[in-house]
Amino acid sequence: MPVADPYRWLEDPDLDGAGIAPWLEQQNELTFSIIRAGDTRDRLITRLTEVWDYPKYSVIKKVGGRYFFWLNSGLQNQPVLYVQNSLGLDEPGRGARENEPRPVLDPNVMSEDGTAAITAQSWTDDGWLLGYALSRSGSDWQELRVLDLENLKELDDVIRHCKFTSPAWAIDRSGFFYSRFPEPGSVPPEEESYHQKVYWHALNTQQETDMLVYARPDAPELGFSPHVTDDGRYLVLHVWKGTDPKNRIYFAPLDPGSAARPSQNDVVRLLDDQDARYDFIDNAGPDGATFYFNTDLDAPRGRVISIDTTQPDRTHWREVIPQGEDPIDFVSVVHDHIVVVTLHHAHHVVNLYTLAGAFVRELPLPGIGSITGISGKRADDELFLSFTSFLNPTVVLRYHFPSDMLETVLSPKLSFAPARYETTQVFYESKDGTRIPMFLTHKKRLRNDGQNPTLLYGYGGFNISLTPNFSPQRIAWIEAGGVYAVANLRGGGEYGESWHQAGTLLNKQNVFDDFHAAAEWLVKHNYTRPDRLAIQGGSNGGLLVGTCLLQRPDLYGAVVCQVPVADMLRYHRFTVGRFWVSDYGNAGEDPDHLRYQLTYSPVHNCRPDVSYPATLITTADHDDRVAPTHAFKFAAALQAAQAGDAPILLRVDVKAGHGAGKPTTKLIEEQADLYAFIFKALGVPYRVAD
């Protein structure tokens, strides 16, 4: 089936080449000449800098009797890792100098422009060695390094060619397991994200001497995430294939008292059917041979099961916590309790159970929000949680099991008053009658007169749930009188795996219908009107808003389309696009997929003689997750098709990637550009409303 592809030349990966560089330069010049004209962007930078300047904490992790957490003091480009000997909560001398936090790892000194970021970390059991993954310029590629936390000294160990992995330490801290891809140049470029293998690295040795532990040359598309159980007895491999939530679990026995390491023949394929999602939780029993899993096998909303690995036949599996009304988001074991975090209409609830599965209690959270981190081990008395909402930045909570006390231990001071605003949740019907939840955040006593500038955000894919989260730029939006709306579309995980599947493959149009219906609800209920309604999405959400603006150009006044997947016929040919086939399908192999993807692929659905709303498409030169070519081809196609006067703009960031690890300076500049564009496109002056 022939399909025109006039912008194939924009797939050139050499962005500095003579063919594409002048075009990109012209695009950025046009974009910045429009969105940076006047003083709106400068005033936004000033206000964003003010609201961004507050302490940002990660969840506390207790390791080896000490407490670690990441902290960005306000405007640092990257957070810094701190340690303190005690929280001073259960003993005299609270706040004594010896309990003060001390910095131990600062990525801000690793690059002049703040683009070096820590993307994963793992401690030895005694807390004295830290293995961490370092990424540069927003790339998914990582270097694994080791820091001696006792002497604050970097070891010589450096592991390269890694992606989507972190060190899995042996209990004797003699080394760690990790996974890596082939060395660049050793395989064809299109296979650089295939052939991942598991290796053992002995501490204080060179990577070239690392021992191969496991590989699947017969299945080069499989990836491996290694984990060592807390008792040190087992290496557990989470085996994945792209972004398909269905996975496999392999394991190998370890002898904590021996220097011998497992080899290919020692690995047991415990769960190899790839028939469901299996998230390893913990192991138990006298020999640690009983494994606990959170799975959606025969339970689309999730349940907890245990498997005796000495009797792995399914007839011996035991259900510990059955499927409930709300889907399970994630599970941990702390203080011999199973901690279950569920989603209730897209916000989190935390319940405690015994190891036998008996309900103990629900932990009272500060409000409707999200658990963004959880830490603790089976032998610990303390459970740490990080909690956030649309109007409150992350706070760190500590639940002390012996005293049954939940308290806040880390909380930022803010430069704005959250009490002036409110978040509500509404439900609306999509085109086929499906009930969809949506969060609305705005100033209290909002006038429903249809005049409010409104920003609608969505994602709808890959089983990812949009739960309440805090973002400084949204404060600048709502304090200027804006409404911020988040629609929980099908394709996400808000109601379990069936909700996810309802927005994938040949059901993808459901996601777009859900989003259109959210916009129509906002207009019908007089929150806004189409010419004051902006939509925003990134990555898969970029596909969402790109498709929606093409399907309903009459419904939207402005579009921010960030790092989008836009060429649905060729996406699997670029970077790690092959990982997404389980959600999107493969037009190159399945004619039904080809015909369906052609109905919504943004690059292929820009119609001439149509007046499209003002659109800003963004990407970055180091995005090796969603290739920049998607944004380039979509921008070129939409610009050529535009029949109206609204601008179609392309913004290309430099020394940046898909988003993770982006330094604060770049974040503020980017958000100022985005919001300046939105205010101008909607014809609304930027000012802080009374």
pLDDT in tens, 14-58: 888 778 999 999 999 999 999 999 999 999 999 999 999 999 999
Is residue 585 situated within a structural domain? yes
The active-site residue out of 210, 282, 326, 623 is: 623
Distance of CA 595 to the CA centre of its chain: 30
User: What's the confidence (pLDDT) of residue 174?
Assistant: 96
Answer whether residue 454 is part of any domain: yes
The residue segments making up the domain with residue 643 are 23-51+416-682
- DSSP helix/strand/coil, 161: strand
Please state, in angstroms and as integers, the Cα–Cα distance from residue 340 to each residue in 332, 350, 400, following that order. Answer: 7, 6, 16
Q: What is the mean pLDDT of residues 203-208?
A: 96
The residues, ordered by sequence, that sit 6+ positions from 367 with a Cβ below 8 Å of its Cβ are 389, 392
Burial class (CB in 10 A: 0-12, 13-18, 19+), 26: exposed
Over residues 662-683, mean pLDDT: 96
Least confident of 496-505, 531-540, 681-690: 681-690
Q: What is the CATH number of the domain that holds 454?
A: 3.40.50.1820
**What pLDDT is attached to residue 95?**
46
Which of 389, 500, 658, 673 is flagged as catalytic? Answer: 658
CA distances from 624 to 439, 445, 572, 629, 630 (A): 32, 44, 13, 11, 12
Q: Model-level pTM?
A: 0.93
**Is 456 within the bounds of a domain?**
yes
Mean per-residue pLDDT, 623-643: 95
Distance CA 628, CA 47 (A): 30
- Eight-class DSSP state of 542: H
CA 9 distance to own-chain centroid: 31
Look at residues 43, 41, 52, 51 and name the one whose alpha carbon lies nearest to residue 676.
41
Strand partners, 428: 436
329/656 Cα distance (integer angstroms): 30
Which of 332, 539, 582, 601 does the annotation list as catalytic?
Answer: 539
Reply yes or no on whether 244 is catalytic.
no
Within a domain: 527: yes
pLDDT of res. 689: 63
Q: What is the pLDDT of residues 27-36, one digit of tens each?
A: 999 999 999 9
What tens digit of pLDDT does each residue of 419-440 get?
999 999 999 999 999 999 999 9
Q: Is 494 contained in some domain?
A: yes
Return the pLDDT at 15: 85
pLDDT of residue 658: 77
In-domain check, residue 114? no
Distance CA 430, CA 425 (A): 16
623 labelled catalytic? yes
Q: For 375-390, write each residue's pLDDT tens digit.
A: 999 999 999 999 999 9
CB 455 within 8 A of CB 519: no
Question: Does 658 qualify as catalytic in the annotation?
Answer: yes
Q: pLDDT tens digits, residue range 328-367?
A: 999 999 999 999 999 999 999 999 999 999 999 999 999 9
Pairs from 344-351 (Cβ < 8 Å, separation ≥ 24)? 345/425, 345/437, 345/494, 346/425, 346/437, 346/439, 346/465, 346/466, 346/467, 346/468, 346/488, 346/494, 347/425, 347/467, 347/468, 348/467, 350/385
Q: Is residue 579 part of a domain?
A: yes
Distance CA(640)–CA(162), nearest Å, equals: 40
Q: What pLDDT score does 353 carry?
A: 98
3-state secondary structure of 81: strand
Q: Is residue 597 part of a domain?
A: yes
Taking a C-beta distance cutoff of 8 angstroms, is the pair 153, 147 a contact?
yes
pLDDT category of residue 690 using cuts at 50, 70 and 90: low
Residue-level pLDDT at 93: 40
Beta bridge partners of 97: none
Count the domains in the chain: 1
pLDDT-derived band of residue 139, with 50, 70 and 90 as boundaries?
confident
Q: What are the two backbone dihedrals, phi and then psi, of residue 635, each rounded to the nearest 5 degrees?
A: -60, -45
